[in-house]
Amino acid sequence: MAAQVPELWRTQLCIHGSGHRNHQGDYCSYAHALWELLPPDESTQRFTTAWRDGKVDRWYGQPMEAEQIFRIYTYACELHPADVPVWVRGALFYNRFRLNRQHTVSRNWSIYDQFMPWDYGLHADQLLLYRMRLEKKLPFEEPSDLWTTLRKRKAIMSEDCL
């Protein structure tokens, strides 16, 4: 893994796993837990390519590579299901079909998902991104079916409450 610029510290999960700390004598700048993940620091400059090239593992609704989803899934499997962050559930829910095609997935999170917000907190997470960035817009192109998929989930959840 290449050394990261400070603005990209902890934007990706370390491929060496949660127990890793040092890399070739230096402190490893990758995240070793889901809660450590950060968006790029874009307060002074844009990192559009990092978003586009799958170097941001914290999910804000951006398109993700199958390898990213599998990294997130692998780290999530180390946690008790109740400790898996809401955004992780959203990323796994939205990308579940892609992940299942490419990788063996043994854990089923869905029993816990019925208690999650309909959008997995994505709207609030995106508002934070807007506020943090010099340019007040999302740094990526959202997949066209993202909000449609989440609103379908909302409709199903509303029916369950009747």
- 50 or 122: whose CB is closer to Zn ion? 50
Phi first, then psi: give them for residue 27, nearest 5 degrees: -65, 130
Q: How far is the CB of 23 from Zn ion (least distance, A)?
A: 6
Q: How far is the CB of 33 from Zn ion (least distance, A)?
A: 11
Q: Which two tokens stand for residue 142?
A: 């959202």
List the x/- string, 2-41, binding to Zn ion by CB under 5 A: ------------x-x---x-------x-x-----------
Q: How far is the CB of 54 from Zn ion (least distance, A)?
A: 17
- 10 or 133: whose CB is closer to Zn ion? 10
- CA atoms 40, 41, 43, 45: torsion sign: negative
Specify whether the CB–CB gap between 36 and 58 falls below 8 A.
no
- 31 or 150: whose CB is closer to Zn ion? 31
Specify whether the CB–CB gap between 121 and 87 falls below 8 A.
yes
Q: How far is the CB of 30 from Zn ion (least distance, A)?
A: 5
CA distances from 62 to 9, 45, 101, 149 (A): 18, 19, 20, 14
Size of residue set near Zn ion by CB under 5 A: 5
Query: Within the chain, how many helices (H) and strands (E) appear?
Result: 7, 2
- Residue numbers of the site for Zn ion (CB under 5 A)? 14, 16, 20, 28, 30
